[in-house]
Every structure is written in C-alpha cells, then in structure tokens.
C-alpha cells in the first residue's frame, strides 16, 4: 500500500509539470522497471513457505537480481522503440548501467542469506553456475568503473569486447536460479514468471549479439568534403548514396568509415542536416581512431551510418533557454543553428566554452546566426583567460529567470554532471535540464 501511494504521488507530480508530454514520457521506462520489481516481490511473498526465514528472502533477492540483470540486457539492445520511454539511447545506457550494478549488488546478500541456510540446494551444476555468474559479473562491474578502467588503461574497444560477455554470466545466473530454487520447483506461477523474465533477457542478448548485426542495414554514404580545422577537428560532409537517413538536428549516429581503420563504429552528433539529406559532422581527434581519421580521411571515402538516436532537441524546451556547449560538444548546437526555424519567439543564452580563442571553431557562423536572430545571445567563454563558466554567471545573465528556463548541455561527462547538480541546487527542475555527453562507458 505505501508503495502504491508513493507511485501515485510520483505520477501526479510528473503529470502536473508544465513541460512537453514527450519529456513526461521518458519517466515511464524507469518507473516500469521499479513497478514490475515490486509486483515480483509481491508474487513471491504470496507463495512464501511458513515459516519464511532468511533463506526465503535470499531467494527473493536472487530473483530480483536476475530480473534487473535481464533489464540490463534489454537496455543494451539499442532498440529504438524503447528510446522515448527512457529519454534517448544515452539514458537507456544509463539505466543499463544502473540495473547491472543493482543486479550485482543484490547478488551479494542473496549469496549470504542462501548460504547460511544449509541443505536447500540440490544441484551441483546449479551451484557452479551461480558461482560463475557471481564472479563473472563482479569482474565486469569492476572493469566498467571508469576509475578502474583508467587505472588499468583499458581502451574502449577491448573493454567493449569484455563487456559483451555480460549476457553469458546473466544466462548462468538464470539457469542457476532455475536449477537450485526450490520455490520455483514448487510453484507453477513462479516458474512461468521466472521463465518469462529470463527468456526475455536472454533473447535480448541473442538479438543484440547475433541477429541485430545480421539484419542491420546501415545507410550507405560517401564523404563529399573534408575540412581540417584548428584543434585537430575534422569537418566532414557526407552525401547519401541511396535514400538518406531521416535525422533531426541534435541527434547522433553511429558512423563507420572505410579505409585504413575500416568500419569501426563510433558515435557522432550531427552538426548539420541539409535539405538534400547530406550530413555534416564535426569530429575532434581524441584517441587512436579519431586521430587516424584526422590524418587520413579524404573526400570519396565510403561511410556506413546507423541511427539516428537520441532525444536532444531544444524544441522540447520552453520559450526561455540556456545552451551550454564545451569544445566539440558544440556539434548538436550547430545543427540547431543551421536549421534556425525553431529559434523564433525564443530567448536563448548560448554559452560556448573553449580552452583558447583558437579553439572557438564555427564562432563566425554562430555569431552570424545571432545577428539575424534577436532572441539569441552568444557568450564565448575562453577558460584559460576567463576561468570556467559558473552557475552564478548564468543566473546573473538570465536575471533571476533561471527557474523557468530549459537548459541544454553538451560536452564531457564531468561538465554536464557538474552543471546538472549546480543548476538543480539553485532550483532548476531536473526535467528542464537536458544533456548529451560524449561518452557511453
Ligand atoms: C552520443 C555521442 C555523440 C558524440 N558526438 C561527437 C561529435 O559530434 N564530435 C566528436 O568529436 N565526438 C563525439 N563523440 C565522441 C566520440 O564518439 C569519441 O571521441 C570517439 O569515439 C573516440 O574514439 P577514439 O578511438 O578516437 O578514442 P578513444 O581514446 O578510444 O576513446 C575515447 C572515449 O570515446 C568513447 N568511445 C571510443 N570508441 C567508441 C565507440 N566505438 N563507441 C562509443 N564510444 C566510444 C569512449 O567513451 C572512450 O572512453 C560523441 C560520443 C557520444 C557518446
């Protein structure tokens, strides 16, 4: 009952917010994960044996762990139909990480509680699979912590390869539960529920690892033009070979170029979408792959593009907006400014933060749009001479109207997180803070 009341209060709060209904919809995914979890616990409690001891609660935690781990596999599939319910692929990945970590953490008390109840387990194979799942998932969670990955210098590609084994350990956990849990063997409703959960999770894994790759039909593009800009940035224009992909400004794509480092898929935001379907990308040389692109990419190279993904879209925000771009995070804002129809009637403070004046790429173009659009004010922040942009400065510029403002942030994770915290602390509701950060791990 208290949970039901909390859920109703939560929904009333979400529905009463004066925001675009599409922004309300992104609460549904997370809510559903929790609501189904609560129903599962209720279902298991109804079937509990008398007396129900610590062992029973250990089993419940084990089932919940399997449940959230299966969600983690579903959320890794990049199925576009799920995007609106979570708020874009980046937020799906956030929930993917959350559910994986919670699933692993639930396994710890599960192991402790069921181990202390001797004589319940009947299957050696089942026990072995449980141990395999526990240690495998522990290792995967640990190498996914950004500090650990940094410490052991684990690059993205090998990390991704290791990470893709997650489904095998979740499969071990699912089979372990089916073999060793006496509650499941004694109750048909629990068996069916457990099989549906495990089945959906494992199907999602098989789909992502085998089927999705086979049925993927990336759009064929060719590089029309490559410009090498300051700060090791490439400005790339691509033409569709066949039908162009329908991309909204602000979205991102998975792009692979043919050539020496052939067909590695990397995500890039569109920096421009032209009426003829051609796309502009602004790619900063950051690591091995992007440096190789900067050195070698030329006009005429073939490209494959899949997507689009993401719901980073200023037209979802209200009349007052603040945009904050850091470095190469300017790309989605450029795509918005290159289709300026939605700017009319809006009051926008656009902060473009760069390290040095020479890093302020596209500044002339941005200022030319601002000269035509009376509601757009551009603030260039050169951090080496002016210091970092602060929430206080934004508050001063927006003259106390920040609470009614929608804020759009794009750049490194540390920047988007710090502004999200800072803006929320001065009263900007979370649903009015929209961010895209340029990393998935
Ligand atoms: C949604 C999104 C939009 C982006 N848009 C832009 C953009 O418009 N312009 C731009 O310059 N950069 C953009 N990036 C960042 C860009 O994807 C990375 O800089 C690039 O993939 C780095 O690859 P690397 O091998 O050169 O560097 P590495 O040193 O190997 O990687 C640096 C970081 O980039 C990420 N990364 C690397 N490879 C991949 C991959 N295959 N898939 C996913 N992430 C990877 C990881 O977080 C990694 O830690 C975007 C990233 C994301 C997630």
Q: Note the pLDDT tens digit of each residue in 321-340.
A: 999 999 999 999 999 999 98
Q: Go through 32-65 and write b for each residue having 16 or more CB atoms within 10 A of its CB, e for each that does not.
A: ebeeebeebbebbeeeeeeeeeebbbbbbbbbbb
What are the helix and strand counts (H, E) for the chain? 19, 12
Whether the predicted pLDDT of 344 surpasses 60: yes
78 lines ligand 1 (CB under 6 A): no
pLDDT digits (tens, 9 = 90+) for 79-95: 989 999 999 998 899 99
Whether the predicted pLDDT of 358 surpasses 70: yes
- Among residues 405, 429, 428, which one has the least CA distance to residue 17? 429
- pLDDT given at position 121: 56
Distance 310 CA to ligand 1 centre (A): 15
d(CA 414, CA 230): 24
55 lines ligand 1 (CB under 6 A): no
Closest-CA residue, ligand 1 atom 26, reads 287
Whether the predicted pLDDT of 6 surpasses 80: no
User: Region 384-405: what's the mean pLDDT?
Assistant: 89
Closest-CA residue, ligand 1 atom 7, reads 268
Q: Which of 286, 325, 411, 441 is the pocket-test mutation for ligand 1 (most atoms within 8 Å of CB)? A: 286
- List the domains of the chain with CATH numbers: 2-215 (1.20.120), 219-309 (2.40.30.10), 314-435 (3.40.50.80)
Distance 319 CA to ligand 1 centre (A): 32
Other CB atoms within 10 A of residue 9 CB: 10
The least confident of 265-279, 367-381, 387-401 is 387-401
d(CA 321, CA 101): 34
Q: Are 148 and 142 in contact (CB under 8 A)?
A: yes
- Among residues 168, 335, 375, which one has the least CA distance to residue 237? 335
Confidence at 261, pLDDT banded by 50, 70, 90: low
Average pLDDT value for the chain: 90
Q: Which of 227, 228, 266, 328 is the pocket-test mutation for ligand 1 (most atoms within 8 Å of CB)? A: 266
User: Region 212-218: what's the mean pLDDT?
Assistant: 86
Confidence at 365, pLDDT banded by 50, 70, 90: very high
d(CA 388, CA 93): 29
Q: Are 369 and 333 in contact (CB under 8 A)?
A: no
pLDDT digits (tens, 9 = 90+) for 130-176: 999 999 999 998 888 877 777 877 788 888 899 999 999 999 999 99
Backbone angles phi, psi at 352, to 5 degrees: -115, 110
User: 198 is written with which tokens?
Assistant: 């495990």
The least confident of 10-14, 32-36, 105-109, 361-365 is 10-14
Closest-CA residue, ligand 1 atom 25, reads 289
Which pTM does this prediction carry? 0.89
Distance 266 CA to ligand 1 centre (A): 6
Distance 302 CA to ligand 1 centre (A): 20
In what helix (H) or strand (E) does residue 119 lie, and over which residues does it extend? none
Closest-CA residue, ligand 1 atom 28, reads 287
């Amino acid at each position: 009952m208290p949970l039901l009341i909390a859920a109703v209060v939560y929904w009333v709060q979400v529905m009463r917010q004066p925001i675009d209904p599409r922004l309300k919809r992104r609460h549904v995914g997370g809510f559903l994960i929790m609501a189904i979890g609560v129903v599962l616990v209720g279902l298991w409690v109804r079937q509990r044996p008398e007396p129900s001891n610590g062992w029973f609660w250990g089993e419940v935690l084990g089932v919940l762990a399997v449940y959230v781990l299966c969600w983690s596999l579903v959320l890794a599939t990049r199925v576009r139909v799920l995007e609106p319910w979570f708020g874009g692929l980046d937020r799906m990945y956030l929930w993917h990480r959350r559910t994986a970590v919670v699933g692993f953490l639930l396994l710890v008390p599960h192991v402790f509680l069921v181990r202390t109840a001797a004589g319940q387990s009947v299957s050696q194979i089942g026990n072995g699979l449980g141990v395999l799942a526990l240690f495998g998932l522990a290792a995967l969670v640990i190498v996914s912590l950004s500090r650990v990955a940094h410490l052991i210098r684990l690059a993205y590609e090998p990390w991704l390869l290791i990470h893709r084994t997650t489904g095998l350990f979740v499969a071990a956990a699912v089979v372990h539960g089916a073999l060793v849990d006496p509650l499941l063997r004694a109750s048909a409703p629990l068996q069916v529920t457990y099989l549906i959960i495990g089945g959906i999770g494992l199907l999602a894994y098989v789909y992502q690892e085998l089927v999705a790759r086979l049925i993927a039909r990336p759009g064929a593009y060719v590089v029309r033009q490559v410009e090498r800009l300051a700060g090791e940035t490439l400005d790339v224009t691509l033409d569709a070979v066949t039908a162009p992909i329908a991309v909204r400004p602000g979205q991102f794509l998975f792009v692979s170029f043919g050539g020496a480092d052939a067909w590695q898929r990397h995500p890039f935001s569109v920096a421009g979408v032209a009426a003829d379907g051609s796309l502009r990308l602004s790619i900063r040389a950051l690591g091995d792959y992007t440096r190789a692109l900067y050195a070698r990419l030329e006009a005429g190279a073939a490209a494959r593009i899949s997507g689009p993904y993401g719901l980073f879209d200023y037209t979802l925000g209200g009349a007052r907006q603040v945009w904050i771009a850091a470095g190469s995070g300017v790309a989605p804002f450029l795509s918005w400014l290159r289709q300026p129809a939605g700017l009319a009637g809006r009051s926008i403070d656009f902060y473009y933060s760069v390290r040095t004046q020479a890093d302020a790429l596209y500044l002339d173009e941005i200022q030319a749009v601002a000269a035509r659009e009376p509601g757009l004010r551009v603030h260039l922040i050169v951090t080496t001479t002016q210091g970092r942009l602060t929430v206080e400065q934004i508050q001063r510029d927006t003259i106390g109207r920040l609470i009614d403002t929608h804020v759009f942030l794009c750049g490194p994770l540390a920047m988007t997180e710090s502004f999200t915290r800072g803006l929320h602390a001065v009263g900007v509701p979370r649903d009015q803070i929209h961010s895209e950060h340029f990393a998935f791990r």
